Amino acid sequence: MNIGLTGGIATGKSTVSALLINKGALLVDADVIAREVMLPGHPVLTAVADHFGQAVLLADGTLDRKKLGDIVFHNPSQRQALNDITHPAIRIEIRKQMESLEREHPNRLVVVDIPLLFESGLEHMFERVMVVYAPRVIQLERLMQRNQLNRDEASARIGSQMDIEDKKMKADIVIDNSGDAELTERQIDDFWIQSGYA
Ligand code: ATP
């Protein structure tokens, strides 16, 4: 079986994916794939440089993330253009890695960690989607603390994503990570048993 794992920024996705891996799940990490397609020599990075100009590359050919970020952050149509270049390649690689793990390990759970799963409309790629939930007030406090942000900065980051309540409603499985670590662990134990892996 495969599941897509998502949540809001700082709601505890990494925490839950670590618990699932600890149980024996196999992980595909969309953030890792997203970084790999931006390495020198990858056709996606070449296409990005063709679109945005060679100025988004540093002297050694690697991506100047700050420069690209400055371009797309304030410009929705350029952000869309970047997504149009990168997302199809990332999606293909996610599917490839997921299917290969499922083929090689048919009795293991394959977890695909995708922070912006719903924002990217990828829910149909997976048998089930698990959302790691914490209400906005807790999300805000954890984000401020983890990233050393003030309230306005943290709110802006949260505000740029789909609302966590909407993600919760779209989920097949909700892990409520608003309590302590033990409560979250218990929900993962239950999920593991109910899914027939224990
Ligand atoms: P992102 O998508 O931004 O990478 P995430 O969803 O993976 O974030 P985590 O990094 O797992 O979130 O958790 C966010 C912060 O909240 C971390 O500092 C983590 O230590 C803390 N945290 C996670 N779960 C809990 C919990 N149950 N109780 C208290 N703090 C928690």
Q: Best substitution site from 5, 6, 14, 162 to test ligand 1's pocket, by max atoms within 8 Å of Cβ?
A: 14
Rounded-to-integer distance, Cα 113 and Cα 27, Å: 7
Ligand 1 atom at minimal distance to the Cα of residue 181: 27
CA atoms within 13 A on the CB side of 33: 21
CATH code assigned to 1-25+109-198 = 3.40.50.300
Confidence (pTM): 0.93
Task: Give me ligand 1 centre to Cα 20, in Å.
Answer: 15
Class of domain 37-107: alpha beta
Q: Check if 1-25+109-198 and 37-107 are the same fold.
A: yes
ipTM at complex level: 0.96
Task: Give me ligand 1 centre to Cα 11, in Å.
Answer: 5
- The domain spans of the chain are 1-25+109-198, 37-107
pLDDT tens for 123-157 read 999 999 999 999 999 999 999 999 999 999 999 99
Rounded-to-integer distance, Cα 170 and Cα 137, Å: 20
Strands of 110-113's sheet in order across: 26-29, 110-113, 2-7, 128-133, 173-176
15 is in an annotated binding site: yes
